[in-house]
Amino acid sequence: MTPLDYEYLRKLLKERSGLDLSADKQYLVESRLIPLARRIGLPGISELVQKMKAGSAETLTADVVEAMTTNETFFFRDKIPFDHLREAMVPALLQARAGRRALRIWCAASSTGQEPYSIAMCLREFGAALSGWRIEILATDLSQGVLEKSKSGLFSQFEVQRGLPIQLLVKYFAQVGELWQLNADIRAMVQHRQLNLLQDFGHLGTFDVIFCRNVLIYFDQDTKTGIFERLAKMVEPDGFMVLGAAESVVGISDAFKPHQDRRGLYRPNATRTVKPGLAAATPQPAKAVAMASR
Ligand SMILES: C[S@@+](CC[C@H](N)C(=O)[O-])C[C@H]1O[C@@H](n2cnc3c(N)ncnc32)[C@H](O)[C@@H]1O
């Protein structure tokens, strides 16, 4: 890969997925894209870039963007967010939504499904307290490939051994050959939709809880600021947002304020004054990211 190839890919990935690669990440690009190039019969990355530049390879560009996403996830990842859900968010919402008896939760970079299904199992464990409630869990991701796997509800032995308590495995999964499949009623609690966070997502409506974990970490500061501004419009005023262990709003946006006792948990900031001309709040036009969001 030449320095020019690398610059082309860096720019493309930033525009299409928000991925902010520093100047020294050639090894990462090579490790992810050489297998893709070989799979389609090309000798290397330079030829892949040539084919993309030729302009007739929309699918190829989407495949490149997808190959560069990091999909690492596991059940009940980091444990603490699910303690927050069980101990703080659901109890508060049980009271606040007692009239409506409905909850909307958005898992904004859901990867292969372990996160939204952990949320679903957590809610199901509330038993009678939530019975009869309309529960909607929306799982979205840039990558169509991970969404297809998530929809299947099928997980390997290795995947169910990462973070999933054995009681929940026994209770909610059935063995299918060498794999484990989530019960249909837990799967039915989660709807899937392809969505690029760089694009407008206002049409999704508002949510009581947004999980947006371990994705913004790959974006630059302006992109994060813009996404926080737009996420703040999607959370109910008494709702919650959850970030990953290495993520924070501090120094990036005052659209949310950290929960005083619970790390990684945020609430919309009702008291802030929005600065005029907050350009970063404007999403990229759909056209610019259209290929990545098929
Ligand atoms: C590391 S996984 C995190 C999964 C899960 N939230 C967790 O914490 O376990 C990051 C996910 O973000 C998705 N992603 C990357 N860029 C995105 C974008 N611009 N819009 C939506 N999803 C994106 C990737 O496809 C990947 O599945």
Note the pLDDT of residue 278: 54
**What is the atom index within ligand 1 of the atom nearest the CA of 211?**
6
- At residue 290, does pLDDT exceed 90? no
* Å from CA of 95 to ligand 1 middle: 31
- Residues 6 or more apart whose Cβ sits within 8 Å of residue 264: 78, 80, 81, 84, 242, 243, 244, 245, 247
As a whole number of angstroms, the distance between CA 251 and CA 199 comes to 23
105 pocket-lining for ligand 1 (C-beta < 6 Å): no
Ligand 1 center from residue 140 Cα (angstroms): 9
196 lines ligand 1 (CB under 6 A): yes
Q: What percent of the chain has pLDDT over 90?
A: 87
Written as six digits, the tokens of 278 are 């907050």
**What DSSP letter does each residue of 45-113 carry, written as one string?**
HHHHHHHHHTS--HHHHHHHHHHTS-----TTTTSHHHHHIIIIIHHHHHHHTTTT-EEEEEETT-TTT
The neighbour count for residue 15, using CB atoms within 10 Å, is: 16
111 Cα–ligand 1 center, Å = 6
From the alpha carbon of 112, which atom of ligand 1 is closest? 27
Q: Tell me how far the alpha carbon of residue 98 lies from the centroid of ligand 1, in angstroms.
A: 32
| Closest residue CA from atom 16 of ligand 1 | 17
The stretch 188-196 carries a mean pLDDT of 98
Determine whether the shortest distance from the Cβ of 73 to ligand 1 is under 6 A.
yes
CA of 224 to the centre of ligand 1 (A): 14
Residue nearest to atom 13 of ligand 1 (CA): 109
pLDDT at residue number 59: 85
Instruction: Determine the pLDDT at residue 268.
Output: 96
By mean pLDDT, which of 10-19, 43-52, 54-63, 183-192 is the weakest?
54-63
| pLDDT-derived band at 284, boundaries 50, 70, 90 | low
